[in-house]
Amino acid sequence: MSSSINDNNKSIMDPKTYRKRRNENMKNDSSGILNLFKKELEMDNFHNFSQFYYSFVNLCVDSFRTIYDHTNVIFLLLDQIYYATDKEQKNIQLDAQHSANAAIIRSKYFLTQDDRLIKKAKIAYSILNIDTMPIKIDQFIQEVQ
């Protein structure tokens, strides 16, 4: 257990360790399920990924108490299948936190210039049934004019 915690802490502090661990997971996926999820998400089809996510949540239901918990895990799972990836785990966690903040305050819009963050937030909001719309600033200006 402490070895696992140490590995996780190292991956948070060292982007190379995180990417190496993620790449090994993808390479060792003999079932092909991770690639299936990625292709599905690229077609804007979240059904199987949503089912997978909720199965995961049901295994450790006590760990999911807040929107932060849910968005963080969704963003990490998306990164594990190379969907809108980030170079560092801390960026993933910050993106998840920002998208959760917009959802918590029930904002109609979540503004960002980060295309990857928009993709991940759309999926998280869809899975979690959140009405917040992630968009770029120029799209927001057009939307409110």
What integer pLDDT is reported at residue 1 of this predicted model? 44
Whether the CB-CB separation of 79 and 92 falls below 8 Å is answered with: yes
State the pTM of this model.
0.77
101-129 pLDDT, tens digit per residue, is 999 999 999 999 999 999 999 999 999 99
Q: What beta strand segments (E) does 75-130 contain?
A: 109-111
Q: Are 20 and 64 in contact (CB under 8 A)?
A: no
The domains of the chain are located at: 2-144
- Residues 124-136 have pLDDT tens digits of 999 999 999 999 9
- Amino acid 103: pLDDT: 94
Q: Are 120 and 84 in contact (CB under 8 A)?
A: yes
For the beta carbon of residue 103, count every other beta carbon within 10 angstroms.
22
